[in-house]
Chain A
């Protein structure tokens, strides 16, 4: 017995809708491939050019006019130290600001105003932060063209990202958690520090990753505050053999960073310097990935402990 007309109409309709499903899946896949293929092609071509150049000497040599002797020692050390200052400043400040806005601040128009501004700040071009930092850190606070000035500049650059991510993460914690804690007699501080912040750490760290990844590639604000291009010495060592064993001299040292070194090599006429730039680019990508891996590792740790 042939299926009656109603069923046939129904089947045609289902087929049509399934077709739309397939079309959307294909369009979505293509959209994703656009991004992924471009990225893979870029990294691939850079890797093909740069990988043969990677050697121990490349990491342990200073820049030079001889492309084959030039290295990235001052650049990678500079980037690492600047990022250290940035992370140590932006992460605690950003999280504290986010927690305050979400948990403590009174809900009034001033808070709204601050909220809107913080969100908008995330979209301000980085060169503006560079100019601000040049006036504030370099001249007003007299920090000079130093690692600490650069680290703080990048810290204020990524603060909005960290704050917004912290707030989003905290907002996703169900209110019942807080109520439960309060019901058991916990104070607000205990609730926030032992429940809300640890549970939202995964989301916060995602924001930190995005922020730090942005900061590590920034060139414009760093150039504005006076990073150097040729520097063939390292900052003072933070660890000393005599008492008190630690030193903060390095904070005030002159420096350069990876993107600046890369840019200089890319703009040189000699082909061999372009190869150096590709190799330095690979190293920068690996540094970014390592930094992200560390954050993902910490995030995984926090997730594991959440039992609800």
Chain B
């Protein structure tokens, strides 16, 4: 009895293994693997670059991309497990320290812009624009439980419930938005509908006349029919998010650069060097294709220079800064 059972189990295994053997014929063990992990915001761009790069190298180099979030990505990066880290915010002081202790240094390269977009329901006919002060009034921790109606933000708005939707507190988008509006990263009211999946936020506002949400620009452009973007007044008059407004620096303070960090150790590997050069050369085209806003051509050229000259460290010194132009970032002195 038990021998026949064994036989059967073995045959089963053999069949499965055989099927897999056939299916995995196109696989060839590549000599080189480039490991990338980090932010889900940067993922679509890195995925696109990896796809093109692998197509170009015809299987000689394998690129893997994970999504551990900006923070999780830096943890692996500073342990030396990855070659490149995707980041939707600059590296934080704790992460800089971890990297320093592990002897990991890095080059910081901005690869695209993301414009955080504040949206309301298309039936919302009262909000024409929002100032940073309005956003602060809605989202600051003190608003919790007290600011629950639109007319509490501005008296001329209707006496209707204010339904807020936003990304969860693990997201870099949340960090940046709170920094830009409330003034302190991660400082936000807690009584809003939070989801790590931006499509849930889209659904929430699309189905609620009194809803308001913020998320990345790509989610707005894909759902422009169901949502209305709100012009943001950063002090110089209301501006709608658009590619032009982000590039010329008028959509402030909600446009932010997103980055890749390349480990200095990995830069010695020819395939990583080639990959990063390829990344910077194609980022403009590919970031646009996946819904992000490309940096000015000059910024990619400057990034390429930094990479070539191994300009190590971050220009942020561990802070999330708001309202900077990317050219200014690239001319700054870097700290490690």
Contacts and interface: CB of A to CB of B under 8 A. Distances in A.
A229 B219 contact: no
Contacts of A294: 12
A119 interface: no
Given A65-B289, A232-B51, A77 B222 contact: no
A232 B50 contact: yes
A89 to B, nearest CB: 13
Nearest to A230: B65
B4 to A, nearest CB: 10
Contact of B44 (A62, A65, A239, A250): A65
Contact of A232 (B16, B63, B289): B63
Contact of B20 (A80, A197, A223, A270): A80
Nearest to B221: A269
B100 interface: no
Nearest to B199: A267
B51 A65 contact: yes
Tier of interface size on chain B: 35 or more
A65 B24 CA distance: 23
Contacts of B56: none
Contacts of A267: 40, 196-199
Contact of A234 (B18, B27, B65): B27
B309 to A, nearest CB: 30
Given A234-B27, A267-B199, A198 B1 contact: yes
A233 B27 contact: yes
Contacts of A231: 62, 64-65
B282 to A, nearest CB: 12
A193 interface: yes
Contacts of A197: 2
Nearest to A226: B66
A19 B236 CA distance: 75
A84 B66 contact: no
B326 to A, nearest CB: 23
Interface of A: 62-65, 77, 80-81, 84, 88, 193-194, 197-198, 223, 226-239, 246, 249-250, 254, 264, 266-271, 274, 294, 298, 305
Given A230-B50, A230-B51, A269-B218, 13 more contacts: A65-B286, A65-B289, A84-B17, A228-B66, A229-B43, A230-B64, A233-B54, A234-B23, A237-B24, A250-B24, A266-B199, A267-B199, A269-B223
23 contacts: A65-B44, A65-B48, A80-B16, A88-B13, A228-B64, A228-B65, A229-B43, A229-B47, A229-B65, A230-B63, A231-B65, A232-B62, A232-B63, A239-B18, A264-B67, A266-B199, A267-B196, A269-B199, A269-B219, A269-B222, A269-B223, A270-B222, A305-B1
